[in-house]
Amino acid sequence: MVARYIFRRILVGTVQILSLVIAVFFLIRLLPADPVSRFVGLNSSAEAYAQAERNLGLDRPLLTQLGHYLGVLPSEGPGLLQGSLGTSWVTGTPVLTEIGQALPITIELLTFAFAVALLISVPVGMLAALRPGGAADRGVFAYSLFAGSQPEFWWGLLFVYVFFFVLGWAPAPLGVLSPLTSPPPPVTGFITLDSLIAGRPDTLFEVLHHYMLPVATMVFILSGPIIKMVRQNMVRALGSDFVLYARCAGLPKGQVARYALRAAMAPSVTLIGILYGFMLGGAVLIESVFSLGGLGQYAIRSVLAFDYPAIQGVILVITAISLLVYLALDLIHAVIDPRVAYG
């Protein structure tokens, strides 16, 4: 039954990805933008414009362009169905290669940030739920409003000023490594794992040191809504009938708390998954402040350059990862509540 549930979710996700690819392909070409003029200039001759249009493949009908992009029609190179995202119009490099260089940075940043945020938010939310209206509950409410009241780039700049410029505890916001440090040989693409594989603990420590401020910035922003969600669901769970029955039955407080936490974490996990998918492309401001060179910055550069293959590749990758995250959430929900898989 679980295998059938997973297969059904993968099938639905595949249809969603294919529909989004086709929709994005047509929508970006309906925008009032002229990528050909972006490359040849506004004062170019008609011959130069026509040559650039042919080189970019924009002189063909839209359905023919779509067929070449998907790989169902013969073209100069492989298409999407053959595992290619096309070639960047700006750099001439395969889009998959460029995304493979930028994506691991964003994944590492988000994973570290969400891991720390969960370690902080779940206990704090549970503590606030034990006494609704108490001092801890009021403090959590004030912190949640305060943390989410300003944009993340402002907090990033403030953290840089305080912890780098004033206190000197953090490194300069110049990327994931110092300009004088050579990166480890790429194996997985994730610089933390590659540092471990290469046996370079000093490089690993430097990477974690450079991640310190961007992760702290994201934790400060993300922990507010997660704490509020955990607190609200925990209050609701503690007041539910099955918890009251468990207390009346004389079960230990720790066991009752575990039951309540299990019931409270289902909607909280949903929020975490939505935030993770949103921050895949939404972390661009933090990446820009700390010069990380992640997927968000790559997406912004592609949009500003009218680089259609890169834009399509970024959207496809973000969508695929988001669907995988949502599939993992569904599986976690099925573990927490087996009725989900049998519904």
Tens of pLDDT, residues 193-249: 999 998 888 999 999 999 999 999 988 888 888 888 888 888 777 777 777 777 787
Q: Residue 57: what pLDDT?
A: 82
Residues 98 and 167: their CA atoms lie apart, in Å, by 36
For 66, 211, 248, the CA distances from 23, given in Å and listed in that order, are: 11, 36, 56
What is the distance of C-alpha 251 from the center of its chain? 41
The pLDDT confidence band at residue 339, using thresholds 50, 70 and 90, is low
Residue with tokens 């939404």: 282
Most confident of 79-83, 112-116, 302-306: 112-116
CA-based R_g, the chain, Å: 24
Percent of the chain with pLDDT over 70: 95
pTM, two decimals, is 0.83
**Contact partners, residue 214, CB within 8 Å, separation at least 6:** 109, 113, 156, 286, 287, 289, 290, 292
What is the distance of C-alpha 174 from the center of its chain? 21
The pLDDT confidence band at residue 338, using thresholds 50, 70 and 90, is low
Of 100, 29, 19, 12, give the one whose Cα is nearest residue 309: 29
**Contact partners, residue 11, CB within 8 Å, separation at least 6:** none
With H, G, I as helix, E, B as strand and everything else as coil, classify residue 163.
Answer: helix
CA torsion, ordered 18, 20, 21, 25, to nearest 10 deg: 140
Q: Where in the chain is the domain with CATH 1.10.3720.10?
A: 95-336
Burial (CB < 10 A; 0-12, 13-18, 19+), residue 59, is middle
Q: Look at residue 33 and tell me whether its pLDDT is greater than 70.
A: yes
Residues 106 and 276: their CA atoms lie apart, in Å, by 11
Tokens of 203: 């490089």
The pLDDT confidence band at residue 170, using thresholds 50, 70 and 90, is confident
What is the domain class of 95-336 according to CATH?
mainly alpha
The pLDDT confidence band at residue 335, using thresholds 50, 70 and 90, is low
The pLDDT confidence band at residue 36, using thresholds 50, 70 and 90, is confident
